[in-house]
Amino acid sequence: MNFKEEIKTYNFQNAPYIIKMGLNDIAIIVKENNPIETSTKIIAKYVSNETESSFLININEDLEENFNNLLLNIINTQKIKLLINLTINNKDDGFDIDIETSKHLSAVYQTIKILEKALKENHIKYIYNKNYQDSLKYNNIDIIKMQLNKTHTNENTLENISNALIKFITEYLKH
């Protein structure tokens, strides 16, 4: 099934969270709880399915403590080393994605170069700003926060972003 056919089958209702335990040490999360905004949820689910990564998607729950407890369970159970946090950027800064990394991203140069190459190959305009400060701090695991530009979330861009993340995760797992 191709991207456009598969995403038509996705349903993001009837539960506060959607969780999948993957087969590798990468987790993709969507912490935002806007039930109308599905762009980040589509990417998380599609990329996770294609790469066998774990995911945790917040659907309509406001309780941050519950989300954090579920995420910590996934991190500990799956021995997560890389967390990809997908969010929406409501400002139009001219880029498809803003990328930020945790201060302690291991091999930051190599990791980001792999991600940048995958994005370029899929025609995604991005900006990289390292060292964000976020409440997502878990046992010194690597965190990449990707903010999608809300005005650039058409189906083709979502597919390109998804393909770039699949390529990035595939390469990341080789190292």
Percent of the chain whose pLDDT exceeds 90: 38
How does residue 107 score in pLDDT terms, banded at 50, 70 and 90?
A: low
- For the chain, give every domain's residue range: 3-174
> Looking at the domain covering 3-174, what would its CATH class be?
alpha beta
pLDDT at 145 exceeding the cut of 70: yes
Q: CB within 8 A of 171, min separation 6: which ones?
A: 114, 118
Rounded to the nearest integer, the mean pLDDT of the chain is 85
Q: How far apart are CA 28 and CA 143, in angstroms?
A: 10
- Average pLDDT (144-169) is 90
The pLDDT tens digits of the residues spanning 4-39 come to 888 888 888 777 888 999 999 999 999 887 777 889
Give residue 45's pLDDT.
95
The pLDDT assigned to 101 comes to 79
Per-residue pLDDT, averaged over 145-163, amounts to 89
